[in-house]
Structure 1
Amino acid sequence: MFRSFGLQCLTGICALSLASSVFATETTSSTGERSDVIPPLDTFKTMADDLKPEGWISFQNLADKQVVSFAPLMSLRCRLKEIRYSVDSKDLDESFPVPKCNREYPFHVEPQGLERPYDIEYRVDTVQALAVQLSWDDGSKSKIAYYEPCPAVGTAPCAYLVGSRE
């Protein structure tokens, strides 16, 4: 039922590379400087809809930590205004920082390295569910998506979509 996270990433990278080459056009200003155009918002919304069943976020247990990762959403950051979320409630009372857009490579996601800026850590089995809503740069918002950790979640990242609503 769930594809491995590695396969998801590889598929996503291929799709993003194709989308980037198809939608990102290059123009030159009168000074000769390159200015790239970010693809239309509808492209990002479609990508978010396609990513939603597999998880806008993922859960993972590493040693004595439960890691909630927002990395799957980072390829959308050039059109994201805000990522609202809540732990074990529907309040959307938290905000995850959206990294700066790289206009030259709008879908590129920098590796996390040791700092893991796309993750939030909790004690193991602390988070039972997470509600997530995306706010776009035009002011529109996605439906709220509700995720739970996959049954017997371990070191492989995964999430289980349990529903969504306006």
Structure 2
Amino acid sequence: MFCSFRRVCLTAAWGLGLVFFAITSAKSGFSQERDDVIPPLDIFKTMASDLQPDGWITFQELDGKQIVSFAPIMSLRCRLKEIRYSVDSKDLDQSFPIPECDREYPFQVEPDSIHQPYIIEFDGGTVQALAVQLTWDDDSKSDIAYYEPCRDVDSTPCAYPLGSNL
């Protein structure tokens, strides 16, 4: 519950940052008629750093399946070039597809789309840890984040950060 409250607070803070960005952009000569301007990459990187302790991904157990959801990081997809990940290793040998950016609403994650295409399903209890690295649109890379499923989480989405101990 604390993680959910924290995410709500972070989302509110990001919203205020976007309002500030819109106001300063208007003062800098951007027309308010432009609705396709994506905020600077630094804002996205800051948001990713703020999200990292709570999880760029979540684990969930449903109907005997282990669901790994990338939805928490999808709000940053407009500046992401690639999401690399690996299951139970540091290899980063797989890539997660990044959905198309909605330039009018760059941070929006559609509620109807939370379950697809943002998830990967495994047999229940299969994944012990997941490594994730983000590649930004300027080809810079994030640090690798490591997560494990929260214990006894059942159907509540959750991830526990492992640091670099995978």
TM-score of Structure 1 vs Structure 2, range by shorter chain: 0.7 to 0.9
One-letter code of the match for 1:158? C
Residue aligned with 2:106, SS: coil
Q: Which of residues 7, 18, 21 in structure 2 aligns to 1:20?
A: 18
One-letter code of the match for 1:3? F
Identity within the alignment, %: 62
The 8 Å contact of residues 58 and 70 in structure 1, kept in 2 or not, is answered as yes
One-letter code of the match for 1:21? V
CA distance in 2, matches of 1:72, 1:157: 10
Give the corresponding residue for 2:50.
50
User: Residues 114 and 54 from structure 1, CA distance in 2 versus in 1: closer, same or farther, beyond 3 angstroms?
Assistant: closer
CA distance in 2, matches of 1:68, 1:157: 9
Give the drift of 1:21: 2.0
Give CA deviations for 1:81-107 in whole Å, capped at 9, x if unaligned.
000000111111111111111111111
Give the corresponding residue for 2:140.
140
TM-score (norm 2): 0.86
Corresponding position: 1:158 with 2:158: yes
Unaligned runs of 5+ in 1: none
102-111 vs 134-143, which deviates more? 102-111
Calculate the aligned-residue CA RMSD, in Å.
Answer: 2.2
| Higher strand fraction (1 or 2) | 1
One-letter code of the match for 2:53? P
CA distance in 2, matches of 1:47, 1:114: 19
CA distance in 2, matches of 1:44, 1:76: 6
CA distance in 1, matches of 2:101, 2:34: 16
Give CA deviations for 1:103-143 in whole Å, capped at 9, x if unaligned.
11111111145852211111110000000000000010001
CA distance in 2, matches of 1:138, 1:50: 20
CA distance in 1, matches of 2:113, 2:99: 15
Aligned length: 160
66-75 vs 106-115, which deviates more? 106-115
Unaligned runs of 5+ in 2: none
Q: 5 Å matches for 1:6-155?
A: 7-24=5-22, 25=25, 27-28=30-31, 34-113=34-113, 116-155=116-155
The 8 Å contact of residues 3 and 54 in structure 2, kept in 1 or not, is answered as no
Give the drift of 1:145: 0.6
TM-score (norm 1): 0.86
